[in-house]
Amino acid sequence: MPCIVEILSVGNELLLGNTVNTNASWIAARVTSLGAAVSRITTVPDNLKEISHAIRESLRRKPDFLITTGGIGPTFDDMTLKAVARALKVPLRVDRIALAMVREHYARRFPNRRISLTQPRLKMARIPARAKPVRNPVGTAPAVRVTVKETQVFCLPGVPKEAKAIFRESASKAILAKTGGMIFAEKWLRVQGIMESSLAPIIDQIMAKWPKVYIKSHPRGVEAGGRPHIDLHFSTRAQNSEGAERAVLGASRDLARQIRNVGARISLKA
Amino acid sequence: MPCIVEILSVGNELLLGNTVNTNASWIAARVTSLGAAVSRITTVPDNLKEISHAIRESLRRKPDFLITTGGIGPTFDDMTLKAVARALKVPLRVDRIALAMVREHYARRFPNRRISLTQPRLKMARIPARAKPVRNPVGTAPAVRVTVKETQVFCLPGVPKEAKAIFRESASKAILAKTGGMIFAEKWLRVQGIMESSLAPIIDQIMAKWPKVYIKSHPRGVEAGGRPHIDLHFSTRAQNSEGAERAVLGASRDLARQIRNVGARISLKA
């Protein structure tokens, strides 16, 4: 049973199609490399009810981690923390440590100016009771961490540089502690001269032989103006790297052999 | 009340972080430009239970449209249609028209070869009872359309070129018919020399004056190695383009005036 992670992305810009959700794919790739598995990514607008519903739905599925991005800044539409408080039925309150973090950020950024703690600035230190602020090494708003039954919730900012820095410094360590060194291994194989529908029964056969290896076919090429081909992705998780590598390599070699037998070409070596 | 659209993206590659979900942002941008609003984007793995749960959850929220991408090809892990059938409690069955579409595709692509209808090829014509196949102008697997109470469900392939072509040819027309010519208008403003926390109360004030205009601030610049600035996005929906344009223009001019008053700079004209 792998360590399960859900991602909740908050932001109208993602739903307007203005912004591609690269935060989610970056976090998903990091989570995967840490040996855990992302089970769902949900994107909701800057709307209190929608965010708190999505948080409650996620907690009901009991993932090991729920990582949110976006909605923790100073503007009125940054309402992720309010939504967390609502979902957890706890009040929001100004946190002493979070406030010190916000103050310190402004003092560092404007050493010669007195920056008054206006409401929008105070807002960044107002976090759900029970939650802990998490240092933001590159921006103003602290991130937030709170444990709800079996789920550790991390609320990160939406600005990619800040989300990444905080993920690296805090969430990644918590995930690694939970996976206990589970290893993810993957391999790509490129195939030409066979249709996906002809490849399907071959994949079934190899997956029956290597039940822990997941094989997914991605038809490509025509799209990008190139020659049609299929990229095959082999992946597995195991307790040690030799076991994981052996499985993906074995499965990809077996599949490559079968493919050559039916006269198709392999252009990335198994 | 705008026309509400949900997007459901199916595919392990999106959760492994291998693939950025550009299908979702492309569809979201198209939906927005058609005058409708995307309320949620959900990404789930190639797992029957997860997909059918997500479909049921979405239908319970009663969006006008649910657009799925991915999982309708010939391989075993393409299980979106099975999941739709399960969510709707109807059987899957080979559809006569879908089968003709699959046959025609192979006949067109391989005019001199007899392509036998193997199980994986037949699979692409097996769709939920009650559903209608939708022509795929560029690929093999037909898309699928089914109406469930107030929701029109469109299941598109995951290959971007196919998803886009089918969206343009079918889903976009259905959405336009529903929005009845609702117009989306937007405008960007770039601001320098002011912190987001200082901008927050100004945005509140302008949104109070222009209640139909949504203003979102995006702190940028430092990230990309450039000078720090904030991009402001103004958007609205209205029954006619003059009304929509007037609102975003009015709000952005009012905001620009206030910003100049506090000594900050505007680098994209209001």
Q: Is it the case that residue A116 has pLDDT exceeding 90?
A: no
Round the CA-based radius of gyration of chain A to a whole number and report it. Answer: 23
User: Quick check: A42 pLDDT over 70?
Assistant: yes
Q: What percentage of chain A has pLDDT greater than the value 90?
A: 76
The domain limits of chain B are 4-179, 183-266
What is the rounded average pLDDT of the residues A45-50? 97
Residue A234, beta-bridge partner list? A187, A215
Nearest to B29 among A17, A160, A203 (CB): A17
Q: How far apart are CA B167 and CA B174, in angstroms?
A: 10
pLDDT of residue B225: 63
A73 touches chain B (CB under 8 A): yes
3 state DSSP class of A79: coil
Q: Which of residues 44-63 of A touch B (CB under 8 A)?
A: 44-46, 50, 54, 57
* A99-108 mean pLDDT: 91
CB B143 within 8 A of CB B155: yes
Q: In chain B, which residues have their Cβ closer than 8 Å to the Cβ of A19?
A: 25
Whole-Å CA distances, A195 to A63, A191, A265, B84 = 38, 10, 12, 26
Chain A contact for B23, CB < 8 A?
A: no
Stretch A93-109: mean pLDDT? 92
For residue A224, name the pLDDT band (cuts at 50, 70, 90). Answer: low
The 10s digit of each residue's pLDDT in B47-61 is 999 999 999 999 999
Closest CA to B238 of B187, B180, B183: B183
| Chain B residue at shortest CA distance from A38 | B15
Given an 8 Å threshold on Cβ–Cβ distance, is B197 in contact with A22?
Answer: no
* pLDDT for position B49: 97
- Closest-CA distance, B234 to chain A, in angstroms, reads 11
pLDDT at A226: 67
Does B223 contact A at CB distance below 8 Å? yes
CB contact under 8 A, A75 and B12: no
Confidence of residue A59 (pLDDT cuts 50, 70, 90): very high
Tell me the shortest Cα–Cα distance from B97 to chain A, in angstroms.
19
Q: For residue A82, give the nearest of A48, A54, A116 by alpha carbon.
A: A48
Q: Do A14 and B25 touch (CB under 8 A)?
A: yes
pLDDT at res. A182: 83
Q: Is A1 on the interface with B (CB under 8 A)?
A: no
pLDDT tens-digit readout, B196-250: 999 999 999 999 999 999 999 998 876 556 678 899 999 999 888 888 999 999 9
Give the mean pLDDT of chain B: 93
Chain A interface includes B130 (CB < 8 A): no
Q: Is the pLDDT assigned to residue A220 strictly greater than 90?
A: no
Write out pLDDT tens, residues A65-93: 999 999 999 988 899 999 999 999 999 99
Instruction: Inform me whether the pLDDT recorded for A151 exceeds 90.
Output: yes
Whether the predicted pLDDT of A270 surpasses 70: no
Q: Which of residues 230-269 of A touch B (CB under 8 A)?
A: 233, 235
* CATH for A4-179 (3.40.50.261, 3.40.1160.10, 3.40.50.720, 3.40.980.10): 3.40.980.10
More confident call, A110 vs A63: A63
The class that CATH gives domain B183-266 is: alpha beta
Q: Which residues contact A97 (CB under 8 A, 6 or more apart)?
A: A132, A133
pLDDT on residue A76: 86
pLDDT digits (tens, 9 = 90+) for A178-215: 998 788 999 999 999 998 999 999 999 999 999 999 99
Instruction: For chain B, positions 200-219, list CB contacts with chain A under 8 A.
Output: 200-201, 203-204, 207, 214, 216-219
B157 interface with A at CB cutoff 8 Å: no
Q: How far is A197 from chain B (nearest CA, A)?
A: 5
- B73:A196 CB<8 A: yes
Looking at CA atoms only, how far is residue A227 from chain B in angstroms?
A: 14
Residue numbers in chain B where pLDDT is lower than 50: none
A vs B, Cβ pairs < 8 A, gives 178
The whole-number pLDDT of residue A159 equals 94
Q: Is the Cβ pair A38, B16 closer than 8 Å?
A: yes
A156-163 mean pLDDT? 96
